[in-house]
Amino acid sequence: MDINFSRNGFQNSFPNERSMATGGDVETATDPASSSFFSNDYKRHDDLKDMLDSNKDSLKLEAMKRIIGMIAKGKDASDLFPAVVKNVVSKNVEVKKLVYVYLTRYAEEQQDLALLSISTFQRALKDPNQLIRASALRVLSSIRVPMIVPIMMLAIKEAVMDMSPYVRKTAAHAIPKLYSLDDEQKDALIEVIEKLLGDKTTLVAGSAIQAFEEVCPERIDLIHKHYRKLCNLLADVEEWGQVVIINMLTRYARTQFLNPNLEENGESEPDQKFYDSSDSEADKKEVPKKTYTMDMDHRLLLRASKPLLNSRNAAVVMAVAQLYYHCAPKSEVNFVAKSLVRLLRSHKEVQYIVLSNIAAMTIQRKGMFEPYLKSFYVHSNDPTHVKLLKLEILTNLATETSISTILREFQTYVTSSDQEFAAATIHAIGRCASNISEITDTCLNGLVNLLSNRNENVVGESVVVIKKLLQMQPSGHKDIIVQMAKMTENIAVPMARASILWLIGEYSDRVPKIAPDVLRIMAKTFITEEDIVKLQILNLAAKLCITNPKQTKLLCQYVFSLAKYDQSYDIRDRARYLKALVLPGDQPSLLSKYAKKIFLCSKPAPVLQSRFKDRDQFQLGTLSHMINQAAVGYHDLPMWPEVAPDPKVRDIEITPAHVPSGRIGKKIKEKKSFYSESDGSTTTEGADSTASSEEEDDDENEEVSEEESSESEGEDTDSEEEEEEEEEEESSEDETNHAPIKSVVNTSFESPQRTTSKQEMHRPKLISETTESSEEESSEEESSEEESSEEEVVPVKKVPEKKKKIETKKKVSEKKKTDVVNLLDLDDFGPAAPAPTVTVPFSNTGVLQPMSGEVTSAMSAGSNFINPTTIHVQVEQPLRELLNRITGDGLYIQYRFTRTLSAFSPKFTSVELIFNNTLSKPLENIRLKDKKLPTGVEIDDFPIIPVVGGGSTISSYMSINFNDTTQAATFNIGVGDKQYSVNITAPVGELLVPNTLTDNDFKSLMGM
Amino acid sequence: MIHSLFIINGSGDVFMEKHWKSIIHRSICDYFFEAQTKAATPEDVPSVIPTPHHYLINIYKHKIFLVAVVTTEVPPLFVIEFLHRVVDTFSDYFTECTEATIKDNYVIVYELLDEMLDNGYPMATESNFLQELIKRPSRFSKIKSKVTGISDTVSSTLPTGQLSNIPWRRTGVKYTNNEAYFDLIEEIDAIIDKSGSTVTAEIEGYIDCLIKLSGMPDLTLTFTNPRLLDDISFHPCVRFKRWESEKVLSFVPPDGNFRLISYHIGSQNLVAIPIMVRHNISFREGSSGRLEMSIAPKQTMGKTVDNVSIEIPFSKSILNVSLTPTQGKYSFDPVTKVMNWDVGKIDVQKLPSIRGNVSCLS
């Protein structure tokens, strides 16, 4: 063994001694305060105490480790409490950690001493390290000492407001602990829970709901406000949280929505309708009487949970399956079957649970699993209970069409070496036979064939099943009864013998000759039979005595007198009772007249039922469902309400402006990406690199860049070339270089051309996706829909110069469309930092060209409106058409708002004009003429352009003071001796003074 | 949720217990032992055992039982999945999860259990996240602690508290050699009837990865024929949306070993079984019988079949077998009555076969 333990040989060292378990039994929990000095324990732990009291951390650690070993073994180490608790202040993290473990285990027993440690935790709760704060709260809340309830309450309240989601999660866990310690705190705790429910971080959501479920599951009204958020976050929550949330939402759905299966035709409605947000309001009002329309929020829940069927966690899959089973329209439940069948390949324990649930589901919804019939075929290496469950399911699934294959499969099972399984198969055959009338005879014949089987158990079970089948159709089948009567001598299985005897007694009229003979034989062996057989012999005797007293009366008397002295009082009682009825003797009692009626009435046939028949009362996937009895804390699934409660309770106050809703839209995208990332970190992380904001147009890129440390951005350009080659092995030593793997980040930081082409490729898809997702949102989020679809358009504007001209037209038209809806033109929020400097190629450096944006802003840098960074934020603007090529006789003029400050005054809006001569000959002397301006509107002319060469392009700048109106500035442009009337209207957004926000600022404003 | 956990070995010793709420005495395990004695094999022990006041949910893996005690309603799969996650985490930390390794590393085990559950509710189950809190024992540290008596299972300084944004990946991963390995494993489960025709066959496939890459790598994996994969379960790191739209696996992987996806190809599809077994067993009157078996490749698409091993579970009435294989070795376990034949590579020219006598109870 190890050195560590060798220095105290007599001491229990953990790993190597086996005698410990027995030693532990001798030891009793003694109160150290009173008796430790005199007990053996004191001596035993003396050295440990010394070690704990020493100054050396290594000794303390060693002692703590051994103490933990004792705890792990289940041995009592409580007498060491005073020595251990001192070390709670230890500087050594490892010692401290182990002391924490010890404290949570024994504090309950040593409350007074435990109080000594509280101040340490209180101090740790203020530690800058989130892990220390969390663990302090964890231990503090795990010490089950009623005296510290107020301290715990305080700590929880503070932790709920903590910056770190990890600490908040711990706080959520602490709530049920406190509640179990003192349930008078409930009201205060509900307040805390309410706060936690509002938490947007995915890390916290699951724990918050768990706290809710444990403390106040009845306060379903607390969920309303957070319902939609929970649905949307669902995919990003950690897997355990998903299970808890889905289970809670199942309950919620059952109380808040209408039963989707109430009308059978309700399910045929196309899904499309539900997605259509414009209809939603109208639909909600119609709900009560007319055709059933699913509530939007109900649909949201079903849709949000569907991707979770692909989770690796069986519990999550099961939770979604039960949600669909209990809450979805019947027509939509079927696809969960596939995922459940996949789980059958998981661990055997999972298999067992899933199969039990499937077995219960197959009773109600046969059709669901029919396509997967073969997946339930039994494998030879399945454990017995799994085999039995599969058999159960196969039997439930059997229909006229599938029964032949199932029966063939059953034939093999009958020969299995697993006795229990073979017997169950025969019962299953019996059930199939009774359920499907077409095959009853086939099955009966098959079972009779089994009677000649070599295996006694098989024969025995067959007899029992045949008995049941015969009972169901009593006509005919004389031959079978005869054959079975012959077998009485050979069959040893008591249950089978009893069954045969019962059959003969019941149908003795059909085999009048054989029956008395059977009784004769059985009377001979009566003494050696099992109880159950004896009882049936008595029954047979009684019945025969009534129908055929001539032949059997004596026999009957003989049997009764044998039974009279039987060891079992059951049999003695039975004999006495039967005798009084059948052989009344001298004075016939009243009852004996009715003996025939009593014994030979027609008995109801047994109904062969699945043993999962009554499982339906429990919610699928629950513990109660598994054990078929209500477990502690189980609540029945509420019934659907008759009338849906007001759906408006889930409406959250509409947040002002578009910014927050844009946020929501973004979250939806995250959700769709099935990509769990805590929301809180998005805000903090995303802020530290301005570059990341560039990627808001593409959700994949965005997230990655947030995770990406900023250092790597620059260096990734060298990996462009590898774009096509996946996972190429490159031996770059640079630690920040991720070249070997083609990553999305890499592509996004490539040269503009690359980026653009790539993004363009994705563009159509992206747009459709976002619009789809937005459409699915309720109407209040419509603004986000516009915005997010616009965000997708952004990449197009980064088109390289070559393509620009071709693209422009398209863009202009696109632009116009969106402008109609959007008062504020926000499409430039996306591209920020490395936006291509587009102005350069256009400005042909005319001699008289006015200053470009850089100069402008530099000049007016004194103005306090201007953020110095404006200079760098060159925003690509869409081009708009000013003068058509045809009306302008070949001169094509476009304009755009440059969003730079005008050189003249902040009131002026700077406009860039692009003159394109589409003719072959040059156009000369282009100038601005007759302005017809509304009052207050001023124009600062662009300089006269002496000549534009054939086919060439020139840009120039002008400034217009729109006087804060959207009125058009109309003016003429003269070319040579011709004039063309044109006008420029500025959208509201262009009238604002451009101001640059850093990402941080932008995000901080979003909550406004 | 989960109240306590008992770890029990094959011979019925409770060698570790951990309580997350108040203490439940280990005598509760008696109900489990009772169920265990009723079951023929450890696999047959029911996973859920109700007792008057508690419910025992257990799993059996690597010859140890993990018995969780719950007191209130909880989805049983939740507990089972968690227990398997515990075993996986132990396997990850100690390379294998057995009684011996758990006993050797009881302090780490205890700390891990402490971190994984809080108040019975899972707290941190991602192996990468746990490794930030608790160091994995390395051979070096083991030797060091033996020699110097100083051990450092817990990192001497707590992590800066900078937890990774993505819970499944550690921060600050650095490798001098960046490498990534992918294993594609497919299992075929088939039922073949007496006449040799396939009754049903299903494929279960996995992609297991070992990723050793620095920083925050973002990987994509494409398939030539992704249509085949229509029933998949993903590791949480895979972007589901991307798969839905483009059938591309895009993910930021955890550091180290993990299972990226597992997929299932159901019995509706046609599954080609690469091997064919012809067998014949006959019992003569008395106490012996004769077994003959030969193996041949089938539908291998030109690939060689190797690493073949055959396992025959015999009925309980078989006493022993004496066989002669044409290649490889065989062994018979008289306790479990399982015959194992390690065939190795199949040579198409000379097909392997095995024949001989079996002796059974008369």
Provide mean pLDDT across the span A317-339.
90
Q: Residue A353's pLDDT is what?
A: 94
* Separation CA B250–CA A673 (nearest Å): 10
Smallest CA–CA distance, residue B275 to chain A, in Å, is: 18
**Under 8 Å between Cβ of B77 and A318:** yes
Among B118, B233, B243, select the one facing A170 at the smallest CB separation: B118
Residue B34: per-residue pLDDT: 92
Q: H/E element holding A768?
A: helix A752-776
Q: How many CB atoms lie within 10 A of CB B305?
A: 18
Please answer whether residues A493 and A530 qualify as being in contact, where contact means their C-beta atoms are separated by less than 8 angstroms.
Answer: no
Interface test with A, best of B41, B57, B66, B81 (most A CBs within 10 A): B81
pLDDT tens sequence across A196-220: 998 888 888 999 999 999 999 888 8
**CB B215, CB A738: distance < 8 Å:** yes
> In terms of DSSP H, where are the helices of A292-383?
296-305, 314-327, 336-343, 348-364, 366-369
Which stretch of DSSP H or E encloses residue B18?
Answer: strand B14-19
Query: In the predicted model, what is the mean pLDDT of residues B244-265?
Result: 91
pLDDT at residue A60 above 80?
yes
Q: Give the pLDDT of residue A263.
A: 61
User: What is the phi/psi pair of residue B179, to 5°?
Assistant: -145, 155
Chain A interface includes B227 (CB < 8 A): no
Q: What number of other Cβ atoms are within 10 A of residue A614's Cβ?
A: 12
**B169: amino acid identity, one letter:** R
* Comparison of pLDDT for B223 and B167, the residue scoring more: B223
Cα(B165)–Cα(B158) distance, integer angstroms: 18
In whole angstroms, give the CA distance from residue A986 to residue A964: 9
Name the CATH architecture for the domain at B275-360.
Answer: Sandwich (2.60)
pLDDT in tens, A494-550: 888 888 888 888 888 888 888 888 889 888 888 888 898 999 999 999 888 888 888
Q: How far apart are CA A365 and CA A336, in angstroms?
A: 12
Mean pLDDT on A796-807: 47
Mean pLDDT of chain A: 72
Contact A813, A787 (CB under 8 A): no
Looking at per-residue pLDDT, the higher value among A838 and B124 belongs to: B124
| pLDDT tens per residue across span A453-463 | 777 788 888 88
Can you give the pLDDT at residue A714? 41
**E strand spans, B213-337:** 219-222, 232-234, 248-251, 256-265, 275-283, 288-297, 308-313, 318-325, 329-333
Under 8 Å CB pairs connecting chains A and B tally to: 307
- What is the pLDDT confidence band of residue B220, given thresholds at 50, 70 and 90? very high
Task: Say whether B18 and A72 touch across the interface (CB within 8 A).
Answer: yes
Better pLDDT: A121 or A829 = A121
Length of chain A measured in residues: 1008
Predicted pLDDT at A44: 66
Q: Is A111 exposed, middle or buried (0-12, 13-18, 19+ CB in 10 A)?
A: middle
| Token pair of B298 as six digits | 């089938």
Chain A residues within 8 A of B259 when measuring between CB atoms: 312
CA dihedral A574, A576, A581, A586 (to 10 degrees): 170
Which run of H or E residues covers position A66? helix A57-73
Asked if the model's pLDDT at residue A364 lies above 50, the reply is: yes
Find the mean pLDDT for residues A979-1007: 72
Q: Does A864 touch chain B (CB under 8 A)?
A: no
Residue A955 has pLDDT above 70, yes or no: yes
- Tell me how far apart the alpha carbons of residues A305 and A234 are, in angstroms, rounded to a whole number: 7
Is residue B50 within 8 angstroms of chain A, CB to CB?
Answer: yes
The average pLDDT across A260-288 equals 45
The SS3 of residue B203 is strand
* d(CA B101, nearest CA chain A) in Å: 10
Single out the residue of A384, A462, A473, A456 nearest to residue A428, CA to CA: A462
pLDDT at A692 over 50: no
Partners of residue A342 in chain B, C-beta under 8 Å: 231, 233, 264
- Going from N- to C-terminal start, the domains of chain B cover 2-163, 179-265, 275-360
Helix, strand, coil content of chain A in percent (nearest 5)? 60, 5, 30
The backbone torsions φ and ψ at residue B183, rounded to the nearest 5 degrees and listed phi first, read -110, 130
Contact yes or no for A231/A249 (Cβ under 8 A): yes
Task: Pick B161's closest partner by Cβ from A74, A105, A129.
Answer: A129
Residues B247-258, mean pLDDT to the nearest whole number? 91
Rg, Å, chain B Cα set: 25
What class does CATH assign to B2-163?
Answer: alpha beta
More confident of the two residues A657 and A495:
A495
Distance in angstroms (rounded) separating the CA atoms of residues A273 and A696: 30
Q: Which of A46-55, B257-266, B278-287 has the highest mean pLDDT?
A: B257-266
**Cα of A797 vs its chain's centroid, Å:** 38
Architecture of domain B179-265: Sandwich (2.60)
Neighbour order of strands in the sheet with B288-297: B275-283, B288-297, B353-360, B318-325
The pLDDT confidence band at residue A300, using thresholds 50, 70 and 90, is very high
Residue type, A958: M
Please check the confidence at residue B348 and state whether its pLDDT lies above 80.
yes
Average the pLDDT over A65-84 and give the result: 87
User: What does the pLDDT read at residue A231?
Assistant: 92
Any B CB within 8 A of A707 CB: yes
Contact A634/B at CB under 8 A = yes
Q: Which two tokens stand for residue A681?
A: 């970190």
Q: Is the pLDDT of residue B70 over 70?
A: yes
Give the pLDDT confidence of B82-101 residue by residue, as tens digits: 999 999 999 988 888 999 99
Cα distances (angstroms) measured from residue A694 to each of A659, A745, A765, A792, B88: 17, 12, 19, 12, 40
* Higher pLDDT among residues B275 and A804, named by residue: B275
**CB-based contacts of A1004, cutoff 8 Å, min separation 6:** none
- What is the Cα–Cα distance from A559 to A200, expressed in whole angstroms? 80
Exposed, middle or buried: residue A868 (CB in 10 Å: 0-12, 13-18, 19+)? exposed
Residues of chain A with C-beta less than 8 angstroms from the C-beta of B75: 243, 247, 315, 318-319, 621-623
Same fold, B179-265 and B275-360: yes
Is pLDDT at B180 greater than 90 in this prediction?
yes
Q: What is the mean pLDDT of residues A172-183?
A: 91
What mean pLDDT comes out for the span A860-884?
Answer: 54
Q: pLDDT at position A820, please?
A: 42
Q: Would the pLDDT of A733 be above 90?
A: no
pLDDT of residue B147: 66
Query: What secondary structure letter does DSSP report for B238?
Result: B
In sign, the C-alpha dihedral spanning A20, A22, A24, A27 is negative
**Which residue of B1, B17, B218 is in closest CB contact with A704?**
B218
Give me chain B's average pLDDT, please.
Answer: 86
Q: Which of A130, A339, A385 sits opposite B44 (nearest CB)?
A: A385
Whether B106 has its CB under 8 Å from any CB of chain A: the answer is yes
State whether B50 and A238 contact (CB < 8 Å): no
Q: What is the DSSP string of A823-881?
A: SS--TTSS--TT----HHHH----TTPPP-HHHHHHHGGGSTT--GGGGG-------EE
The answer to whether the CB atoms of A318 and B75 lie below 8 A apart is yes
> In chain B, what is the straight-line distance between the N-terminal and C-terminal CA atoms, in Å?
53
Across the range A964-991, mean pLDDT stands at 78
Do residues A969 and A960 make contact, with C-beta atoms less than 8 angstroms apart? yes
Taking the Cβ of residue B232 and every Cβ of chain A, the question of whether any pair is shorter than 8 Å is answered with yes
Predicted model pTM:
0.69
SS3 A718: helix
The answer for B 126-165 residues in CB contact with A (under 8 A) is 133, 146, 149-161, 163, 165
b/e code A286-315 from CB counts within 10 Å (16+ = b): ebeeeebbbbbbbbbbbebbbbbbbbbbbb
Q: Which of B40, B241, B252 sits opposite A672 (nearest CB)?
A: B241
pLDDT of residue A318: 94
In this predicted structure, the answer to whether residue A552 has a pLDDT above a threshold of 70 is yes
Q: What is the pLDDT of residue B146?
A: 63
The mean pLDDT value for A101-119 works out to 86
% of residues, chain A, pLDDT over 70: 68
The 8-class DSSP code of residue B153 comes to S
Nearest to B46 among A385, A621, A685 (CB): A385
The β-bridge relationship of strands B288-297 and B275-283 is: antiparallel
What structural domains and CATH numbers belong to chain A? 41-256 (1.25.10.10), 880-985 (2.60.40.1230)
Strand partners, B249: B221
Contact between residue A953 and residue A844 where contact means Cβ atoms under 8 Å apart:
yes
The token pair at A10 is: 């007599």
Biggest distance spanned by C-alpha atoms of chain B: 76
B236 is written with which tokens?
């949480």
Cβ separation of B222 and A170 shorter than 8 Å? no
Query: Which of B72, B106, B153 has its CB closest to that of A633?
Result: B72
Which is more confidently placed, A861 or B256?
B256
ipTM over 0.90: yes
Measure the CA angle with vertex B187, ends B219 and B257; round to 5°: 35
- Say yes or no to pLDDT of B113 above 70: yes
